[in-house]
Amino acid sequence: MHAQYQTATEQLAEAQQALGDSTVFIRSVTELADKREVFASEDIFSRGKIKLVNRGVKLTGQFYERLVAHKLLKPIEQSIEIAGAPESSRIIALVLDEARKIPSLQLFGDGLIEQLGGLLSGVKIPEQLAVKISIMQEERPRLFTHSLLAAVISMVLGIRGKLAPRELQKLVLSSLLHDIGELYIDPKLFDKQRCLSIDERQHVYAHPITGFLVLRECSTLPRGVAEAVLQHHERLDGSGYPYRLSAENISRISRYLAVAEVTSSLIEKHGADKRIGMKFRMNIKKYDPEAVTTIFRLLENCEIDVAQDFDESRLAARLGQLGRLFTEWDALLASCSPAEATEIRSIARRLDGLRMMVLEPGYDQHHLNDLMDIAGEMDPDVCIELTALQDELTWHFGALCRGVERDQRAGVHIPEGIRSGFDAWLSQVREFVGE
């Protein structure tokens, strides 16, 4: 408990620091000002009442150093106008455009898009947040598209879940704004090729809190939106972040948003196909079952395009490595005294969760590579499912490594009697996940 609390405290400090200095966000504003007209809508002052920019002045990238040299009296988005910035109606139109790009939505009938449009017509995005969305669109286009797609999926989940219109509007606002905290984090940290340090991961894990702090200051935002943004990486089994909340403490909007966010990420990676259903089936205790059932039905008939250059031998080797990681963990655990087993029970619980991820589809965690022989002549469905399982386990073993690092940083250590064996096993895990 102490380690979890300390981690959450560190993340809150990270979020407050990011929001307090806002240099990353100000750089985005000034970089945008070199591409589009951005004007000061009022005099911009420092907290020390020094006037930094006169009202009506056109900003450029050259203003960056002046603005970040001081703590601003007001958040900069409250003091600027962006020429051609999309209003609420335009942003909502972009959400509907994104919906039309998902073929599987048509399986629900043409009326779904019209229904989405009718519900979205009542959504009003506060001006200061529309400015942030405009900056996201220009400076973080991948993040902008991800947010639009999450909004589409959220609305489908909300409609199928029979949410009241007001709750649906909260859900779409939460979806559009769920990653707004990332605007205050160095975009280099989201480069998929970058191997993040512990401190850099702390910055990334703090983004739900940063987003919550931003939205909390917007008095016209419907109640519950900021909370949903704060909770969108929480999981029903308590394995999420930043506060490791469990089911009874996570709002219904947050639950739907969590499923929509993961679905949109997987659509971006693989397209809209049934691999997404596989992902949720492997993590069935983490997500809202009602929302997951809707995703199953949405994508169950979407076929997977199996790449012709599928590397069967690499998959077999990876599955063999996974099997050895489970076998050697079991041997390590069997060598523990009762006291040592108690000390590492949180890690053991995580491994039990990964084991169930393998067992629930009917596989044997100790003989995963044998499944390639059972699959025979490249049965596409089996190979894709095994690939999805391997990808998911790789991510979770990586998360386990990072969790151990966070615990050690918080003063939680492995018992001396098994430390060398544990370190050797963890080294194999790191090699497997590529860290």
Q: Are residues 250 and 109 in the same domain?
A: yes
Please report which confidence band the pLDDT of residue 3 belongs to, taking 50, 70 and 90 as the band edges: very low
Q: Are residues 155 and 201 in the same domain?
A: yes
Model confidence over 174-188: pLDDT tens digits?
A: 999 999 999 999 988
241, 267, 299 — which closes off a domain? 299
Whether 251 maps to a domain, the answer reads yes
Q: Are residues 95 and 77 in the same domain?
A: no
pLDDT at position 363: 72
Give the range of the structural domain holding residue 183, as residue numbers without chain letter: 88-299
Q: Are residues 64 and 108 in the same domain?
A: no
246, 273, 299 — which closes off a domain? 299
Q: Are residues 51 and 114 in the same domain?
A: no
Q: Are residues 193 and 278 in the same domain?
A: yes
Q: What is the CATH number of the domain that holds 224?
A: 1.10.3210.10
Q: Are residues 59 and 191 in the same domain?
A: no
Cβ contacts of 199 within 8 Å, gap of 6 or more: none
Q: Quote the pTM value.
A: 0.82
Question: Mean of the pLDDT values across residues 219-236?
Answer: 94
pLDDT at position 4: 42
pLDDT at 395 over 60: yes
Whether 28 maps to a domain, the answer reads no
The number of domains in the chain is 3
pLDDT at 308 over 50: no
H-helix or E-strand containing 44?
strand 44-45
45, 65, 82 — which closes off a domain? 82
Q: Are residues 121 and 251 in the same domain?
A: yes
Whether 102 maps to a domain, the answer reads yes
Q: Are residues 149 and 172 in the same domain?
A: yes
Whether 31 maps to a domain, the answer reads no
pLDDT at 59 over 90: yes
Whether 18 maps to a domain, the answer reads no
Q: Are residues 290 and 330 in the same domain?
A: no
Q: CA of 156: how far to CAs of 162, 234, 259, 292, in Å?
A: 10, 21, 11, 12
Q: Are residues 148 and 77 in the same domain?
A: no
- C-alpha span between 265 and 282 (Å, rounded): 16
Instruction: Give CA torsion, residues 344, 350, 351, 357, to 10 deg.
Output: 170
Cβ contacts of 90 within 8 Å, gap of 6 or more: none
pLDDT at 123 over 80: no
Whether 152 maps to a domain, the answer reads yes
At residue 58, the 3 state secondary structure works out as strand
Question: Mean of the pLDDT values across residues 314-331?
Answer: 90
